[in-house]
Every structure is written in structure tokens, then in C-alpha cells.
Structure 1
Amino acid sequence: MMQLALDKWKESIGYQSGLLAAICGLAALILVLVELWTRPLINQRIEEDQNALLDEVLAGATYANKVFAKSEAIDIQQRHYEIFTVKNGQGGTTHFVVRGTEEGFSGTISFLVGVDTEGVITGVRIISHSETPGLGDKIELAKSPWVTEFNQHSLANTPLWGVKKDGGTFDQFTGATITPRAVVNGVHTAMQALAKNMEEQPHDAN
């Protein structure tokens, strides 16, 4: 009798284990299918958002190529940047866009910098961040025009890249200096990365 009960118990455990494994496998399959289904939608949304910011950092300048389809990677000061070339209908280079990141007060700040062929900034926009609402989030154009202070600046005409509290050119926010300081440092380094890339791989412009 005891042996029979033991056998039934083993069968029950095996059944339960098999059922659990089947459920886990089904759940994993569903997650994979959902990820495969949503990935194109997410990528499309990212592309749409990025293209909207592209128009802003180029100050409305037209372009004929898929700017984000091809990039050149460059590392400088232990930071990684991606440089994209903007072309006109004749295939000439009109602008460059630099995508980079910098550590802010609450996490990573991702941004785009638009630059013309003379090395002058046409626009800077924040792609994503996790800075403090009401303080650090003023780096967003929707919250403050602060980010437009970069317009028309270049390595040549701006010797003091920093916030005014540090003796630099750019304003900081009341009660929040770390975030604007991070963005200024990030944009400055992005400009240096572009200059380095231009020296190593000169681009033709019409």
C-alpha cells in the first residue's frame, strides 16, 4: 500500500513538473512572438521621433538622404559618438548630426547636435533623459528655451564651454546646475568628436 502511494506521488510530481515546464515554454513563446510583433512598431516610432528632432536640429534645412541609415562612430574622452552626414539632392554634404550621451544628475542624457559644414551649431535637442521634473527637465525645449542657447555656437567662436557658474558661456538653472553642466559638456565633446572625425575623414560639400 505504501509503495502504491509513493508511486502515485511520484507520478503526481512528474505531471506537475511537466505541466509547469509546458506553461513556462508557452509563456516564453508568447513573449518572443509579442517582441517580434512590437519590434517593428517600436523601431518605427523611434525613427519618427528621431526624424522630428532631425528637422529641429537642422533648423528646417531640407535633406535628400536617409540621415540615420549610416553613421560613423568615434570615441573621444572615453565617450562614444555617432556622426551622421546630411546630403542635398545633388549628393553634397550640407550638415552633420552628432548623437551622443552624457551622465546627468539622475541618469543618462541622450542628445542630437546639428552642425553646418562651417562647424556652427544649427540646433541641439534632447532625445531622452531622466532628470528631475521642474528642475533638470528644462533641457527639453517643451519646458524651456534653454537648449536654443547652443544655436550659432562653434568651437571657433566659443572659447569658454561651460555654465556661467563655472565661468562659461551658458546659463544654468536655478537650483539645478548639474544637468545643464552635463549637457554643455556633452555638446562640447560632441563638437570635438566631429572636428576629429572631419580631420581624419574629410567630407566634400557643394
Structure 2
Amino acid sequence: MIISSMAKNGAILTAFALITTGAVTLVQQFTAEKIAIQEKKQLQGLLHQVLPQSAYDNELYLDCTHVSAPELGPNDSYTVYRARKQGEVIALVMQSTAPNGYSGNIDILSAIYPNGTVAGVRVTKHNETPGLGDKVEPKRSDWIHSFANEQVLNADDSRWAVKKDGGMFDQFTGATITPRAVVGTVKNTVLYAQDNFKTLAQATNSCAIGASS
């Protein structure tokens, strides 16, 4: 009788486990597509913020390569999106990281033309102090827009610094470290893009449908 009851309970538990596992799998399959669509929309939104959609005619998020370079930051890999017009790469949209923010890493997305002119910049992730360092966000201030249409002339271009250091970019009241970190990293990213533009433009596409990253 006891053995029979144990077997019955075991069968119930097994069935429950199978049903639960199946339900979780179905939920994951059902939500995975929605999550992927949402992530795609967020990525497209960011790409459009740094580079006007009218500037290119390809699916920007589906045309990229991955690079590892100390000029871009400490991460093992960064994504570089290629904006094309009639097949020609007219701009690069590059990920980078400022490792010297006041509260740690600051992730950045920069759109750069071949001549070193910046189309736009956005901070995509940071842990900077609310009310001070978070002014890198466009909803907090217009500061991030000050990069648009600015050009890095060369590695010694002293204009690419905050005004406190003799440059042309404003610092934040009570927070100089954050803008200094962003300006320096964007400058390094632009220089890297210029030096490697042709190589990055011709690299194998890592973001095409079916491509392995």
C-alpha cells in the first residue's frame, strides 16, 4: 500500500515537472521573439539618433563587424555598424567605452564620417551620479548634442577637451570627470575610425542574417 502510494506520488510529481518544464519552454519561445523585436527597435532607435536615417539606404543594424581595440575601451569586442549609400560606406557607427567615468564605465555610441566629422553621439549605459553626471543623457541636458558636426583634426587636436582643460566642450557644474571621460573616448574613437575606416568598411559582415557573431 505504501509502495503504491509512493509510486503514485512519484508519478504525479514527474507529470507536474514535465508540465512545468513544457510551460516554461513555451513561455520562453513565445516571449523570445517579442524580446528580440523590442531589442531590435531599441537598437534602431539609437542608431537613428546618432545618424539620420536619410543619410544611408541599407539596414544599418544588419551590417556590422566586431573589433577589439584599446582605443575603444577595455571590452573584448565592440560592434561597428556600417552606413551605406548605394553600396558605399559613408559612415561608421561605433561602440566604445570610457573606463574613467566618475562611477565606472560609460558606454558610448558614435557615428563618424571618413573625414573625422562626428554625426552624433549617445551614451547608452552609465552609472553616473543623478543630477550631475547623468547630464550626458539627452533627456537631462543638451550637452551630448555638442558633438554633432565637430571634427577631430588629429591626435593633437587640443580643442577636444572640456573647457576647464582648455578645450571646447562644457563641463558640468560640480562634475568634470564625466564629460572629460566622454570627450576623451569619443576623440579616441574618431581617430581609430579614421585610421581604420577602409579596413572596417571592407570587413566581413557579422550582423547579416545567418551570420555567426
TM-score of the superposed pair, with normalisation by structure 2: 0.73
> CA shift at 1:23, angstroms?
5.0
Distance 2:7 2:180 in 1: 61
> CA shift at 1:67, angstroms?
0.9
- Aligned pairs, how many? 195
Describe the shift of the 1:162–1:53 C-alpha distance in structure 2 as closer, same or farther (beyond 3 A): same
Equivalences for 1:22-171 in 2 at 5 Å?
26-59=19-52, 61-77=54-70, 78-79=74-75, 80-88=77-85, 90-103=86-99, 104-156=101-153, 159-160=157-158, 161-171=160-170
Describe the shift of the 1:39–1:56 C-alpha distance in structure 2 as closer, same or farther (beyond 3 A): same
Equivalent position of 1:190 in the other structure? 189
Distance 1:50 1:59 in 2: 14
What is the root-mean-square deviation in Å for CA atoms of aligned residues?
Answer: 3.1
Describe the shift of the 1:138–1:63 C-alpha distance in structure 2 as closer, same or farther (beyond 3 A): same
Spell out, residue by residue over 1:98-134, the C-alpha distance to the aligned partner (whole angstroms, 9 max, x if none). 1223343445433211112322001101223333322
TM-score of the superposed pair, with normalisation by structure 1: 0.75
Spell out, residue by residue over 1:52-83, the C-alpha distance to the aligned partner (whole angstroms, 9 max, x if none). 22222124533211111121222221443321
Distance 1:202 1:43 in 2: 26
**Quick check: 1:50–1:127 contact (8 Å CA) kept in 2?**
no
Give the gaps of 5 or more residues in structure 2: 203-213
Give the gaps of 5 or more residues in structure 1: 1-6
User: Which entry has the higher C-alpha Rg, 1 or 2?
Assistant: 1
Describe the shift of the 1:20–1:72 C-alpha distance in structure 2 as closer, same or farther (beyond 3 A): same
Distance 1:31 1:62 in 2: 43
Deviates more, 1:138-147 or 1:158-167: 158-167
